[in-house]
A = this chain, B = another copy of it.
Amino acid sequence: MVGANAVGAHRGEAGGGDPAAEVARGRRPSTTREAIARLALELFDRKGFDATTVDEIAAAVGISRRTFFRYYSSKRDVVWGEFDAELVRLRDQLMSAPQDEPMMDVVRRAVVATNRFGAGELDELRIRMGLISTVPALVAHSAVRYTEWCEVVADFVAGRVGGSPDDLGPQAVARAALGTAMAAFACWAQHDTDDLTGEVDGAFRLLADGFDEDRLRLWVHRDPGSGTPGA
């Protein structure tokens, strides 16, 4: 096979600090999730998501179609990268907040904190979010992934106000928060703004104000880059 074992170096790494450090027996993986994602995103960006087949991605990576599905359970999942890890971070942020901090402040800070990205990541993130919020197949799949996000928030809210995370109160807060975050991401991916943090923060302040009509009007007619009216 051509290009086999291109990732041979990846061996000794002990995952998440496993002290046993098992010496990794068996055949070496011929690629990584990251390598697949990089090539796939490039194809998506160039030819479009729907027009790119799994066969093409597999060919670009140098693996078989069947192997692709062992790394990602679906073509859509490639766009989501390591979303699971972000959910863990969100949960940590929410749970570690002081009890006397207002609930919606905690949510706002947690969402902002879990969505800080370095300048090097922003380009790829914009491609990802652009795809997620525009390609119908990915818009659809996003609902499934975001449901997990909502569960994390609903757990937190239920812990604050009582009741079950499945109850209307926690669910409404979680889904409204999700909608707010989605709006911020979609607008950021679409426009030229570089200030993702500011967009998210501002949107959540509007939410905490119950989308007060006057504050909203101020926000819409704000001077771009002048901060957050009503903060």
Interface residue ranges, A against B (CB under 8 Å) = 102-104, 136, 139-144, 147, 157, 160-163, 166-180, 182-184, 186-187, 190, 199, 202-203, 206-211, 213, 216-217, 219-221
Closest to A142 in B: B143
Decide: B104 and A219 in contact? CB cutoff 8 A: no
Decide: A176 and B207 in contact? CB cutoff 8 A: yes
Q: How far does the Cβ of A185 sit from chain B's closest Cβ, in whole Å?
A: 10
Closest to A103 in B: B213
CA distance A58 to B203 in the complex (A): 47
CA distance A175 to B183 in the complex (A): 7
Residues of B with C-beta under 8 A to A217: 161-162
Residues of B with C-beta under 8 A to A142: 143
Residues of B with C-beta under 8 A to A171: 183, 186-187
CA distance A175 to B146 in the complex (A): 13
Interface contacts beyond A104-B210, A169-B220, A176-B176: sample of 11 additional A-B pairs, CB < 8 Å, sorted by A: A103-B211, A157-B216, A162-B217, A166-B187, A170-B220, A172-B184, A174-B183, A176-B180, A179-B179, A207-B210, A210-B211
Whether A210 touches B209, Cβ cut-off 8 Å, given contacts A182-B175, A187-B171, A221-B162, is: yes
